[in-house]
Structure 1
Amino acid sequence: MNDFSLKISIISDLHCHHSSTKEKETYLTSDMLRSPVNDHPVESLIKLIEKDQLSTDLTLCPGDFTNRSDQQGFISSWDFVNEIHNCLKGKDLIATLGNHDVDSHEKISNYNLEVAKGIKKDFPLKNDGDRDTLWSKGCVFVESENFRILVINSAHFHYNKEHAVGGKVDSNLLDYVEEYLNEINDDKIFIALSHHHPTNHSRLGLGEHDIIVNGTELLELLGKHSCDLFIHGHKHDAFLRYHNLTESNGRIPILSSGSFSATSNTIYTGRRNHFHMIDIEKKNKVCYGRITTWTFMPKNGWKLMHDDGGFDTYTGFGCNKNIQEIASDIISVVGKSVTYKWEDITTKLPEVNYLIPIEAEKLTNLLKSQGFLIAPPLSQSPTIISNVKAVI
């Protein structure tokens, strides 16, 4: 039985367009100067990557490179993504299409994929055969030594304005995926990538009309074949949760990626712009992930920060232990100590590194009710836990 590890960077929903466009919907226009550095999302990130010596194995892009099928924005955004990927010294770059990348409103021509196919430069996949399969079937499996990515074009049926309401997978795609996975007999890290969300994501008034049609069937199928993570974009609302499966009685972590540079999220929901990196380990068929998230603020560039409009700077997924049990274990480890190093907690109880945000909040509240305070919060990489009762 093999163990696998993978470092992933995620760049989603750039919504890049030329500055002359009437609708100003991005911090990243195709013709903007790179000075001042902290006003340019790409240049600022590259400086951060170089300073902190960040690196990746794999870059995933869940779509919406451009905005409203802006041709120059599409061309430039793919170049931007490649620039970031190369700076990270990444090996594999895998992307899918978003609804803005498909010319369903016939802005350029009456063929909805004319721009997407005409960009070339290995968009959205390097291998010719993989691209052909994605165009024809609406999905493709990309295989590597230690990972398997199911790339889904959830905008596959956006033939025109009428059909471009939400995402969709059909029975042919589901049959293809099942037949493919039935032949698999390994434990590689298995990730699904799409633009639209496969399960309801209507918080913050974001609506329910754009969910992937047949998304539940897709998740059940992926769960049956031990999918480790589902990543999507589109909502511009960074959100990490589990989808509980019915047939396999398991669950799949679902990461809604924050938008890299769109402005609509800050205007309508107050959500920030994000760049995520995920460290994944899979041992004995059990997958754990740790996510680090940087936030972009105009004039300040990319920072590790925490605010109510953002996403946890540090979070994770894969913990299968009851939160009440974890709280009891922590209290037992701390004992009567006034303060205790958090790194010693994670050494003895590593599962605390892999809590999704809602689990981390629940654990924090349980400990607080018993007089134990974590500082800084779990979302910001704690250093100590204090026993208030021991002080008294």
Structure 2
Amino acid sequence: MPDSQTPQELKRVYRIAIASDLHAHTNRMDYTSGKNIPSWITPTAGAANKQNPLADLESLISDTGLSADVLLCPGDIADKADDAAMTYAWQELQSIGKKMGVSAIVGSVGNHDLHSRAASGDPAGSGVSGNPLPQAHIRMLTPTFPLANADENRRFWADHFAISEDEACRIITLNSCSSHGYIHEGSDEYTKGRFSPETEAGLLQLIKTTETKPINILLTHHHPQKVSELTFTDNSTMIRGDRLISLLGTGEYGSWMIVHGHRHVASFQLGHGDNDRPYIFSAGSLGVILHTLYYPDRPQTNFT
């Protein structure tokens, strides 16, 4: 520290924790059930199971005193709209956030968090008994998802974006899955998500009318730019993701970082643009069991 700089003048460290793509499920943790095991996270594993990343993370926090200001959850908390697993995982994330002392937990919905698979040829169906609306369970979670603030939570589901901010950080959460459950499973958008022109107009207005902070984060599920480090072809980039990057990269509304999930690998790169190019962080996955053929050198779990 330079002699002329007092402790009061030092910039405060702002800590952001990220837990993405848990893909929590209620399947048996062996292959004799005949079902694919998507992740290590399941309520049946129990807190004593050392292969449960949530249990291990809570132990790490207790042992090291790990703390953060906010906890970001970029979607796919559950796998294949498993309602029981969603409830379990969201409560576990609340516990983790509380133990780290965060002031806010901010989520963004993933495609697996919605009942979006068609049943009986109905593109709006869920493929499960009772055929609930895509958002039927996730909107009933307690605390509310993706934000605890009631007004902003309603704005997220109505306008597909919402904001959470404090004195140092502005976080805008974007719903890239707004049409999931209302489109055919084989459509292009089903695998990519989108950033619609209507959402772009509303998001621009929000950015213009809210205070630029030292830290500005756009949280979403789908990636707006290809993850270059993948060892296989990436064909699931967000529709109009380039427009999202361009909007945030004008330099007029602060410097931005985009945090996303979906790809299950951690990656950090610059977005395109000529002015204030946003950083793009792919958060990886806290629980997904990665196929060694496609991810031979990647860690099985990521918590940032």
TM-score with structure 2 setting the length: 0.83
1:247-258 → structure 2 map (5 Å cutoff) = 249-258=275-284
**Corresponding residue for 2:7?**
none
Contact 1:102/1:116 (<8 A) preserved: yes
What amino acid maps onto 2:202 in structure 1?
A: Y
Task: Label 1:97 to 1:235 Cα distance change in 2 as closer, same or farther (>3 A).
Answer: same
**TM-aligned CA deviation for residue 206 of structure 1:** 4.3
Taking only aligned residues, the RMSD between alpha carbons, in angstroms, comes to: 2.1
When you count strand as a share of all residues, which structure comes out higher? 1
Q: Deviations over 1:82-109 (max 9, x none)?
A: 1111111211100011111111101342
- Aligned counterparts of 1:181 and 1:64: Cα–Cα separation in 2: 26
Please list the CA deviations of residues 63-122 of structure 1 after superposition, one character each: whole Å capped at 9, or x if unmatched.
000111111111111111111111112111000111111111013424111121122322
State the match for 1:373 in structure 2: none
Specify which of 190, 202, 209 is matched with residue 176 of structure 1: 202
* Native 8 Å contact 1:237 1:265 kept in 2: no
- The total of aligned residue pairs comes to 274
Unaligned runs of 5+ in 2: 1-9, 118-125
User: Match for 2:158 among 131, 136, 149?
Assistant: 136
* Map 1:263-342 → 2, pairs under 5 A: 263-266=289-292, 268-270=294-296, 271-277=298-304
The Cα of 1:5 is off from its aligned counterpart by 4.2
Seen in structure 2, the aligned counterparts of structure 1 residues 74 and 3 have a Cα distance that, compared at 3 Å, is same
Counterpart residue type for residue 140 of structure 1: A
Return 5+ residue gaps in structure 1 as ranges: 278-392
Kindly indicate whether the alpha-carbon contact (under 8 Å) linking 1:4 and 1:146 is maintained by their aligned counterparts in 2.
no
Query: Paired residue for 2:48?
Result: 35
Residue 49 of structure 2 is aligned to residue 49 of structure 1: no
How much does 1:147 deviate?
A: 1.1
Shift of 1:203: 4.2
Partner of 1:320: none
Distance 2:262 2:79 in 1: 12
Q: CA deviation digits over 1:312-360, x for unaligned, max 9?
A: xxxxxxxxxxxxxxxxxxxxxxxxxxxxxxxxxxxxxxxxxxxxxxxxx
Question: Which one has the largest radius of gyration?
Answer: 1
Q: How does 1:374-385 map to 2 (within 5 A)?
A: none
**Aligned with residue 258 of structure 2, among 219, 230, 233:** 230
> CA 1:86/1:34 → structure 2, altered by over 3 Å: closer, same or farther?
same
For 1:26, the equivalent position in structure 2 comes to 39
Q: TM-score, normalised by structure 1?
A: 0.66
User: Residues 267 and 28 of structure 1: is their aligned pair in 2 closer, same or farther, counting only changes over 3 Å?
Assistant: farther
State the alpha-carbon separation in 1 of the partners of residues 212 and 57 from structure 2: 36
Structure holding more helix per residue: 1
Answer whether contact 2:224 2:245 (CA < 8 A) is retained: yes
